[in-house]
Amino acid sequence: MKKEQKTAWVTGGSSGLGLHTVRALREDGWLVIAGARSFRENTEEDGVIRLPLDVTDPESVREFCRKAGEISPPDALVQCAGMLVLGSCEETETEEYRRVMDTNFLGMVRMNREVLPRMRERGGGKIVLFSSINGLMGIPFQSAYTASKHAIEGYAECLAAEVKPFGIRVMLVEPGDHRSGSEKYRPRAAAMTPDSPYAEEFESAAGRIRRDENSGSDPDRLGRKIARTLDRKRIPFRKRIASADQHLAVYIHRFLGAEINRTVLRKYYIRRKRKA
């Protein structure tokens, strides 16, 4: 018996984990309507409907939802849009923090405010919010990204409790490192120059982050896991998709003291050069 086709609206669907999720949902039989800033006009390619979407622009969000709604209402909203800035807490500018929070966190808030009334009218739906391992623990020189993901974790708990009576379910996806980006997706704070007092430790941490992502897990596998989970009637509130050592790091962070965690993380991310 052929299953009824359902519709997923996906933000951040042009690259990274969002693109892999779009592909997996399409292959699983979903009608996928993907949004991204890089989509300049309404097109259909490889079975995916693509609409322009800038989650930091309220008018763009409203226009995406209007056009997508004319095509097919959402059974699931999958929010993947995101960005990061690498830099020390001291030298990351307020504007750099604002851009990250506006995309990663407030972008989700804007989309949910538009989509929730549609789901309530239809008697239910599923909302998937991309968090991260960084939403559970702080990584040196990723404070803006980490702060945005911590915000998503807390927001999702509130959201899930509020929308449950309407048949709407919420799921946090907490990915570890995946092979899905490049240097252009790891921009540095403007102040992170060789003259920075943090320069040596920053370069060590940035190198470790780059190596972990380049050797990370298969992003197609992540997409398939999300698609299979959305096929279920009930979805878990949290779905961590990470390597065994990253699962272990989360447990260590949860059960050991703050000082031990800082020591472990510094030892992993920061390798100071030995003095001659």
- Residue 252 or 112, more confident: 112
User: Tokens 């995406």, residue?
Assistant: 64
pLDDT of 100 > 90? The answer is yes
**118, 66 contact by CB (below 8 A):** no
Residues assigned a catalytic role: 14, 131, 145, 149
Percent of the chain with pLDDT over 90: 75
- Specify the pTM: 0.92
Q: 7-269 falls under which CATH superfamily? A: NAD(P)-binding Rossmann-like Domain (3.40.50.720)
Q: What's the pLDDT at 81?
A: 95
- Alpha-carbon gap, residue 255 to 251, rounded angstroms: 6
In the predicted model, what is the mean pLDDT of residues 186-206? 92
Q: What's the pLDDT at 255?
A: 83
User: Can you give the residue ranges of every domain in the chain?
Assistant: 7-269
pLDDT confidence band for 181 (50 / 70 / 90): low
In the predicted model, what is the mean pLDDT of residues 240-259? 84
Q: What is the 3-state secondary structure (H, E, C) of 48-60?
A: EEEEECCCCCHHH
- Alpha-carbon gap, residue 3 to 269, rounded angstroms: 47
Q: Which of 183, 159, 188 is nearest to 171 (CA)?
A: 159
- Look at phi and psi of residue 34 and say left if phi exceeds 0, alpha if psi is from -120 to 50, else beta: beta
